[in-house]
């Protein structure tokens, strides 16, 4: 099949590369000429394990290409995916749909025959209705079906998630569109990946409900972690004890500094806005957003407390800046709130992240950026593990202690055992333990 992917960011690029790897002919479109030029030269605009090789393989095979010419890419396509950004709109938290509707307008002007338009972007309930309305108003002469097909990709594991999904959600009641989408996902269908056909509005809501539920699990265990500290329990044991219940499940029950990234923060806010618009409150999600925001600031205070009575003038090494490992994404990362709290307390922050330093430098220019974990720890009064990159799981504790001004570790991801760290001569602070 011929597939056009409008938007060559995280979702569009990963999806387009994977579709091409299935054997489809895929054209990825983006307005950013420098991004397209970089992609054509084999340079990825994002860090995602395995993506560079996947792109290179399919470009060489002639199945994947990149362009800024939307009209040419749309002409004759069997399926046109809209995979543009939907960031939180300033002021009200609603998803900014301007890029989605702008892409729709351009599709309407360029489409040359019957086709299927698929919203891959995360969009509020009813967005597909508006996309269809625009297409019908602009091109009443053309048979175009609009489908919702949300993505469920985890940054750092996106290729595996795309090729071995828990489920594929397709929102349409149009028979032709169903047939096209079956062909698009035929390789996965043959592998018995479950395909959920539902209404367009249900499909749009599934994405938000899924992310809000996962954000709720994270926030729940973080509050339980605080209770564990108060009563003398260990949140790791509590997480394991409840996670072994199949009705609960063990995933997303790891206590830490709060959720961040490109999805959970904006999607929970967008769901709240939709609930407000329809006068159907989702009070649990409201509490989740509030608790998570305060959680990040509390982690800053936790670090300051570990420094002792007077933190001003002391130095802290932050290990890991991105919101999770195996990505360079800094959006709503807990490190942002932690670094701000430390700066407000007069603490000097030295930082290291394997992939996120460039993005972090744009958001936190006052930090001292270092070449590795030991460089960051040099002269530090405490080292703080913020993101659980693998390289931080086996630090040389003897070397670390030698370069530090004071042997203090604050482990916000519970990477280490207390006996191992204290046995190496460190004062150790963890989460929920």
Q: What is the CATH number of the domain that holds 388?
A: 3.40.50.720
Do 177 and 308 belong to one domain? no
Is the overall model pTM greater than 0.85, yes or no?
Answer: yes
Do 294 and 193 belong to one domain? no
Do 186 and 294 belong to one domain? no
Residue 323: count other Cβ atoms within 10 Å of its Cβ.
Answer: 27
Residue 116 pLDDT greater than 90, yes or no: yes
Task: Kindly report the average pLDDT of the chain as a whole number.
Answer: 96
Residue 213 lies in a domain: no
- Local confidence band at 22 (pLDDT 50, 70, 90 cut-offs): very high
- Local confidence band at 355 (pLDDT 50, 70, 90 cut-offs): very high
Average pLDDT of 358-377?
97
Burial 159-181 (b: 16+ CB within 10 A, else e): bebbeebeebbbbbebeebbebb
Query: At which of 176, 198, 220 does a domain end?
Result: 198
Q: What is the 3 state secondary structure string of the chain? A: CEEEEECCCHHHHHHHHHHHHCCCEEEEECCCHHHHHHHHCCCCCCCCCCHHHHHHHHHHCCCEEEECCHHHHHCCCCEEEECCCCCECCCCCCECCHHHHHHHHHHHHHCCCCEEEEECCCCCCCHHHHHHHHHHHHCCCCCEEEEECCCCCCCCCHHHHHHCCCCEEEECCCHHHHHHHHHHCHHHHHCCCCEEEECHHHHHHHHHHHHHHHHHHHHHHHHHHHHHHHHCCCHHHHHHHHHCCCCCCCCCCCCCCCCCCCCHHHHHHHHHHHHHHCCCCCHHHHHHHHHHHHHHHHHHHHHHHHHCCCCCCCEEEEECCCCCCCCCCCCCCHHHHHHHHHHHCCCEEEEECCCCHHHHHHHCCCCEECCCHHHHHCCCCEEEECCCCHHHCCCCHHHHHHHCCCCEEEECCCCCCHHHHHHCCCEEECCCC
Do 192 and 299 belong to one domain? no
Q: How much is the pLDDT for 201?
A: 98
Instruction: Calculate the dihedral angle through the C-alpha atoms of 403, 406, 407, 412, rounding to the nearest 10 degrees.
Output: -100
Span 202-237, pLDDT tens digits: 999 999 999 999 999 999 999 999 999 999 999 999
Residue 92 pLDDT greater than 80, yes or no: no
Residue 283 lies in a domain: no
Do 298 and 192 belong to one domain? no
Do 177 and 307 belong to one domain? no
Average pLDDT of 263-291?
96
Which range, of 186-195, 298-307, 336-345, 412-421, averages the lowest pLDDT? 186-195
Span 381-390, pLDDT tens digits: 999 999 999 9
Residue 300 pLDDT greater than 80, yes or no: yes
- Local confidence band at 329 (pLDDT 50, 70, 90 cut-offs): very high
- Local confidence band at 14 (pLDDT 50, 70, 90 cut-offs): very high
Query: At which of 145, 165, 198 does a domain end?
Result: 198
Average pLDDT of 347-354?
98
Q: How much is the pLDDT for 90?
A: 77
Residue 178 lies in a domain: yes
| Tally of domains in the chain | 2
Do 303 and 164 belong to one domain? no
Residue 137 lies in a domain: yes
Residue 240 lies in a domain: no
Q: How much is the pLDDT for 309?
A: 81
Q: How much is the pLDDT for 122?
A: 95
Residue 94 pLDDT greater than 90, yes or no: no
Q: How much is the pLDDT for 191?
A: 76
Residue 231 lies in a domain: no
Q: How much is the pLDDT for 383?
A: 98
Residue 235 lies in a domain: no
Average pLDDT of 327-352?
96
Tokens of 26: 């895929």
Average pLDDT of 404-431?
97
Name the residue among 261, 394, 409, 414 with its Cα closest to residue 335: 261
Structural domain harbouring 335: 290-429
Instruction: Calculate the dihedral angle through the C-alpha atoms of 361, 339, 343, 367, rounding to the nearest 10 degrees.
Output: -30
Query: At which of 179, 198, 217 does a domain end?
Result: 198
Residue 252 lies in a domain: no
Residue 114 pLDDT greater than 80, yes or no: yes
Average pLDDT of 322-351?
96
Catalytic residues: 263
């Amino acid at each position: 099949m011929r597939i056009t992917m409008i938007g060559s960011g995280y979702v569009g690029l990963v999806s387009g590369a994977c579709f091409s790897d299935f054997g489809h002919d895929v054209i990825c479109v983006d307005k950013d000429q420098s991004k397209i030029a970089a992609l054509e030269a084999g340079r990825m605009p994002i860090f995602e394990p395995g993506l560079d090789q996947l792109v290179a393989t399919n470009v060489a095979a002639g199945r994947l290409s990149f362009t800024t010419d939307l009209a040419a890419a749309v002409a004759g396509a069997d399926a046109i995916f809209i995979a543009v950004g939907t960031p939180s709109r300033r002021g009200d938290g609603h998803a900014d749909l301007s890029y989605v509707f702008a892409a729709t307008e351009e599709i309407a002007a360029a489409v040359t025959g019957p086709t299927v338009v698929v919203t891959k972007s995360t969009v509020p309930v009813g967005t597909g209705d508006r996309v269809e309305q625009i297409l019908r108003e602009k091109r009443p002469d053309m048979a175009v079906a609009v489908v919702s097909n949300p993505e469920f990709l985890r940054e750092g594991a996106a290729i595996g998630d795309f090729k071995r999904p828990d489920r594929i959600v397709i929102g349409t009641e149009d028979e032709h569109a169903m047939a096209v989408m079956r062909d698009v996902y035929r390789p996965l269908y043959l592998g018995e990946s479950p395909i959920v056909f539902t209404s367009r509005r249900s499909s749009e809501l599934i994405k938000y409900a899924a992310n809000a539920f996962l954000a709720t699990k994270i926030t729940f265990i973080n509050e339980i972690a605080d209770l564990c500290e108060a009563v003398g329990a260990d949140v790791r044991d509590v997480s394991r004890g409840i996670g072994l219940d199949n009705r609960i499940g063990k995933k997303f029950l790891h206590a830490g500094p709060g959720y961040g990234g490109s999805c959970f923060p904006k999607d929970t806010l967008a769901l709240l806005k939709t609930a407000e618009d329809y006068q159907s409150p989702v009070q649990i999600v409201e509490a989740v957003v509030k608790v998570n925001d305060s959680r990040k600031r509390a982690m800053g205070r936790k670090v300051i407390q570990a420094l002792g009575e007077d933190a001003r003038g002391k130095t802290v090494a932050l290990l890991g800046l991105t919101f999770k490992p195996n990505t360079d994404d800094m959006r709503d990362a807990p490190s942002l709130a932690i670094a701000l709290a430390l700066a407000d307390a007069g603490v000097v922050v030295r930082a290291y992240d394997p992939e996120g330093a460039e993005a972090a430098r744009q958001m936190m220019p006052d930090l001292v950026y270092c070449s590795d974990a030991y460089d960051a720890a040099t002269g530090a009064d405490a080292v703080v593990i913020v993101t659980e990159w693998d390289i931080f799981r086996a630090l040389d504790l003897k070397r670390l202690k030698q370069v530090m001004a004071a042997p203090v570790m604050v482990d916000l991801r519970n990477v280490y055992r207390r006996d191992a760290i204290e046995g190496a001569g460190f004062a150790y602070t963890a989460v929920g333990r």
